[in-house]
Structure 1
Amino acid sequence: MKLKVLFFIVSSSVICHLTNAQDYFNLIPEDILNTLKEASKCAENRDNDCHKQYHHALNLAKAQNGCTGCVTVEMARHYINEGLLDSASHYLNKTNKYVEGIKNKTPDILALHAEYYTLVAMQHYIRGNMTSAMGNLLICAQLREEFGNFRNSAYVKMNVANIYQSLGNYEVALNYNMEAETVLKDYKDHRYASLAGNIATLYYDLEQNDSALVWGKKAIRLGEEFEAINPKIYGNYVIASVLENRKNDSAFFYIENAISLSKKAQSTRMLAASLSVYGQILQDHNRNEEALQYFEEALSIYNDLEEYLEAVNLYKIIGETLKALANYEKSSEYFQQYIKLKDSLLSEENRTITQELNTRYETEKKERLIAEKQLNLEKQENKTKNILFSGIILILIILGLFTYVRIKQKNKLKQLEQEKQNAVLNSFINGEERERVRISQELHDGLAALLSAAKMSLEAIPHLDETAKAQQIDKTKTILTNTHEEIRQIAHNLMPFTLEKDGLIAATQQFVTDLNNTGIIQLEFNNQTSKTPELQSQIQLMLYRIIQELVNNIIKHSQATKATVTFSHDPDNKLIIEVTDNGVGFDNETNISHQGLYSIEQRLKAIGGSFILKRNKSTGMQAIAKV
């Protein structure tokens, strides 16, 4: 059984991370840093409401005009550890915006930016997008090299090694880890203990068992020294697996340690792997009935985690164990499930083909970059020639073609206007395309997965006893109920039910309520008119989308804590929608010509309306739509 590395740097113990200060911690005042440490300890102990402490640290940073990006990057790390990737993305965007807003980047700021790319890579890694994860790690390594932090460069190499290991390229993964080990052995912190666990698993995967034993024992020793539980789990697991292959009774001691530590750390994936190995050890000692219990417990965990590549092997093992116990009927059921699940998974040959295609893609990508550089050089040469030619034309025009200049200017103005109209058209097309992509992703990631789970659940019913059948039917009902809710949510996103039934005012009130429930911003709704029911349904939908876009802009860009949506009407009975906030406002360079705001203006003009944007740095933004 191949081991899966769990030691991606960002997923290591949060409290251990904070006790080994990053370079950008120099930017954080002591009171805020202490608050972050308390929040990290809360997360380490898996207490409730840890996010409140993180938000308290962020509010302190805002009040002191401090390094808010340093706090938001730690908040993103917390949410990644909790599996809340959307929340993590929100705070990573704030971190990147903070860094991009600093013109003179000190080594501390570069360190913060490097950590941002590490966390972005972790998100892609969790989602299975290895190419994007690798790209962000390489950017991270480049930034760390700029300020000479070889220790953090070693951490990046550990992450790169983990990606290669997840792809099954164990030799390359081992080389990267050994390069990191040459640097980290002089520091010897909790991450060095994690590295020892990584190296032990790689030697085991490469069937170099003697080296696996050496590094497994080293991982246990370093885990004890730095009070890090994950290296101890992996060390005990690897040693038990090697000794199990050698039929050594000492395997019982190590695998029981691995199981106990996995339960303590609430590491369900490692618990399942350890239970499976324990079953194999018991089976080697002809204790098949005991082994069967551990195999079935491991299988249950893998199915709950949807780790079907691991589960398929256990179906076969359990079938063979039942056969040895002369329980042929139940053995047949497990073998049938094994065959069905195996046929539904990618074969090893397909995985190899996928990796080869990925390699070809990366090669072609590099060739395209080279071709683009050559094309840019040719464009630069052509640009120089065009400047010289334009100079000659300009002299000729000055000498006697004044009329031609005027015609040329008119044509140019006409062309610019056409380009501006094309930009608006493209913004509409791009908006529709993004909506199609979003709907496609929701159908694929949500609805398709639920239907697939319902199908598999139904297919399993004929093979179960009567009690298990009833439980399986209830499970299938739950899946179908979730499918129904997913369909309702998608339909609501396409055309809000409240808007279709009760109109724009009720839909806006519902939108405000839903957004307030997220806690991202405090949004108020003030209705001073009853005119909206007279508007056509298409116009009401367009106004609803404009309100959503303006509020989303406030959340992304204004740093506001409060916003208000007001409905009123002017003396001519025209509907007025006003959206205001208490954020930082816009600078003097921001205007309606920006594509998003310009799109709103053009949509309103198309129905005879108007759009005004007022900016004030001290009081935030005021957007007024009239129709």
Structure 2
Amino acid sequence: MNNWFIFSILSFTLICFSFKTVYNNEKLYILINKAKQLEKNKDFENALEVYNESLKIASSKNLIYNASYIYKKIGLIYYKQKKYEDSKIHFKKSILRDSVTKNAADSYFNLGLIYRRVKEKDSLFWALNNSLNIYKNLDDSADKFSTYSKAGILFKQAGQFNTAITYLLLAYDGFSKQKNLLKNASVCYSIGETQRLLGNLEIARKYLTESLNIRKQLSDTLKTSYAYNNLANLYKNEKNYKSAIVNYREAIKTQNGLKKKKEIGKMLNNLATVYFLTNKYKLALKTYKKALAEKKLEQDTLSIAYTYNELALLAIKNKTYNKAKSYLDSSKLYLSTISKKEVWLRYYEVQSEYHKSRYGYKVAFEFKEKQYQLYKELFDEKQSKTIQALQEKFENQLKLQKISELQTKNEQKKSVITIQNQTLKNKNLLLFLFGLLILILIGIYFFIKQKQREKLQILENKKLEEILESKELVKSHISKDLHDIITTSYDGIRLKILALEKAKNPKEIRKTIIYDIKNINHEIRLISHRLSPLGNKIKEASLNDIIISQLSEFQHYRQIFVAVQLPLPNVLNQMILEAQTNFYGILLEILNNIEKHSKATKVEIKHHIKNNKTLLFEFCDNGIGFKNEQVKGIGLMNIKQRTKLLGGDFIIIDTENGTSISINFPIKQNLI
């Protein structure tokens, strides 16, 4: 009887608890749906209030997935309100609650978007890669492929075209399986544009054509016109003007079928430009006028100024100078509100042509001088951006590689912890004391190991500080070299070009200009090698093959005989990419120093593996030896920095017959 009574009490308690749980869960879902509706209606304040109420229930009942989802939704509302710090806090809380599901993947991606807005590139790629790594382990879904597509676009915008293609193709395959034509049309366009930037024009045309066909199939008239225009732009870049004209006409024809036209002025302008390039001046004139009318309706000030410039140039070619002047005056009127340098550049060019055709050579020269100065500014800006982009790309690759290694280690640690926890749960009481003893021993072991790690970390930090100091010094020298190349060298070339018209010996001056440009190209190539020695070469050949090719090229073009010990050690091909890059960078610097300073006619390269642990290389030339100022040069600093990154050291010795440079580094820590 007593047992039955106890059983009844327990059953009643369990039923009450279950009823309460179901009630709370049902209430939670009602609140979440209510908050979603408020968010949809853009009533963000009330939506936040309801989401926070639902969060209390989810947290009190330890509903991890629901709490993570609610934090994500709150973060999205703050993001829409441009409250990025609040948004960031809630996305991070979402990840902390649940780090392996779709909620975490979405929150990482949204964090990436915030970092992109505040221009924190390192954090952007960290968040983006975390999101993608989680999605890889999730089931296929439209959200997964959409994230791949968006990630591809972000990588493309950052100049990481190969990575962009990888994720865009994953999105393409996914949407193809789901037969989602609308999404696939957008992905095809992104793949086509990325392949165009990579120079793969045939592949680009294939995907842009597929995007066009899908838009037609969906009867999306506006996007179809854009697709025709994109394809025409590709043909124009290939100088296939006939195909470009056909596709521009189709784009315009498609737009004309719409009640509300969009960007038709630019399409007409594109068509007129192709007419101009193919010497169809009457058609070009007629089409530019149509483009101008549409652009005025669209109030596209920038494009209007551009079109007036082109109309003026056509008028000059037709010798209708009054019209040309009128068009130029109109262009100047619009240009007064525009700061875009490219349009001003074209304006100066057309003004110069106008005054030259009217025999006003002095004024024409003044406009030509303005054009040149503006062109130089644009060139300098572009060069600066290109070098900065290359440097950022190199640094991002190193950081992404480090992040990947850390993530792998974290996953391994998580796996070990999971196995240990599972093992401990399965142990019985008799093994408890034994397990406790093991834990104590493990604790002592890790304590001792931690102390050792701290000592090693102090040494590593000191080493990193020295490397960073060297890097900053190298960067400073590279910056100075670039400044000298761009300002001093190009100013010299400019003065020689200006002197050509009055020179008695123009051929000699041209030769010196060509020689100066070759020197500048050589210097810029050297700087490029210092920033990214291997580049994309390592994708197409092994490091040993690249080294042999470089030594052959050096011997052929520099007329310095190279005696290299063959075969090269195969261990070079087995090293990690970072180690291969550093070794190849050292080789390039040594060859550059021999070419630039040694006056040598021969260089001998030997190698040796010591005790299967250390790789030694020795470079001996028969030159004049090192001077004091060379020892402090950027080349040797770069060699020193890269040797430290390999974990080794190098020695320079002046010999009776020239100079000997020896480098050695451990093999094991640099292997894959």
TM-score after normalising by structure 2: 0.39
- For the pair shown, the structure with the greater C-alpha radius of gyration is 2
TM-score after normalising by structure 1: 0.42
